[in-house]
A and B are shown apart, each in its own frame.
Chain A
Amino acid sequence: QKEVEQNSGPLSVPEGAIASLNCTYSDRGSQSFFWYRQYSGKSPELIMSIYSNGDKEDGRFTAQLNKASQYVSLLIRDSQPSDSATYLCAVNDYNNNDMRFGAGTRLTVKP
């Protein structure tokens, strides 16, 4: 069984702080890694994708991937109340058409 694990939270941080979200996965054949943001009652939207070990930065967001440890994380710098949402980690074994999602971490940014 291919598993993607996330802390369900809730994670609460003050406005302006760094929010750190973590994800582990069980399938060593995984090739693509994604972070989606989902506001309450809405569909998930992609915020970051990462395919190789190391860091990838996009504005206030940084994704980190460590395939040896089977670990992927998302850092949100200068957190804003508008970042309050559930963050879903997704892992894809491209060859098997199998995008697996974690249960999500609910983040609250307090003004």
Chain B
Amino acid sequence: NAGVTQTPKFQVLKTGQSMTLQCAQDMNHNSMYWYRQDPGMGLRLIYYSASEGTTDKGEVPNGYNVSRLNKREFSLRLESAAPSQTSVYFCASPDRTNTGELFFGEGSRLTVL
């Protein structure tokens, strides 16, 4: 049971390049989230998906797009990367039937030059 798996773990991009972060969960959860974490600012919600086929903006959605491909997979796309998007990105999925606990992926460290 892997929980939440995200790829890649590390990525370096040049300004203007695009890339997609992939996330998959095997816990049969309905909801999935994408956060970014910057020093001194905690985790900030980028987008979330409450169920398959739905997505909604979080606190900091500008510059990102998401796709909820199926119940397992939720991807985050940067269409034209900017240095301000240098961050650590976490995919997470909440256990709403029990504690509400968020299960996190291992994180993806993105650097935009």
Name the residue in B42, B44, B90, B107 with the highest tally of chain A Cβ atoms < 10 Å from its Cβ. Answer: B42
User: Within 8 Å CB of B104, what residues of A?
Assistant: 43-45
A49 within 8 A of B: yes
User: Within 8 Å CB of B96, what residues of A?
Assistant: 94
In the complex, what's the smallest C-beta–C-beta distance from A2 to chain B, in angstroms? Answer: 9
A97 pairs with B102, CB closer than 8 A: no
Determine which of B56, B90, B94, B101 lies in contact with A43 in the assembled complex, contact meaning CB atoms within 8 Å: B90
State A90–B106 Cα separation when bound (angstroms): 18
B100 within 8 A of A: yes
Determine which of B43, B44, B99 lies in contact with A44 in the assembled complex, contact meaning CB atoms within 8 Å: B43
State A4–B33 Cα separation when bound (angstroms): 18
B41 within 8 A of A: yes
A46 pairs with B101, CB closer than 8 A: yes
* Given contacts A44-B43, A88-B43, A34 and B101 within 8 Å (CB-CB): yes
State A100–B35 Cα separation when bound (angstroms): 10
Q: Which residues of A contact B (CB under 8 A)?
A: 4, 8, 32, 34, 36, 42-46, 49, 88, 90, 92, 94, 97-104
Q: Which residues of B contact A (CB under 8 A)?
A: 31, 33, 35, 40-45, 48, 50, 56, 58, 90, 94, 96, 99-102, 104-107
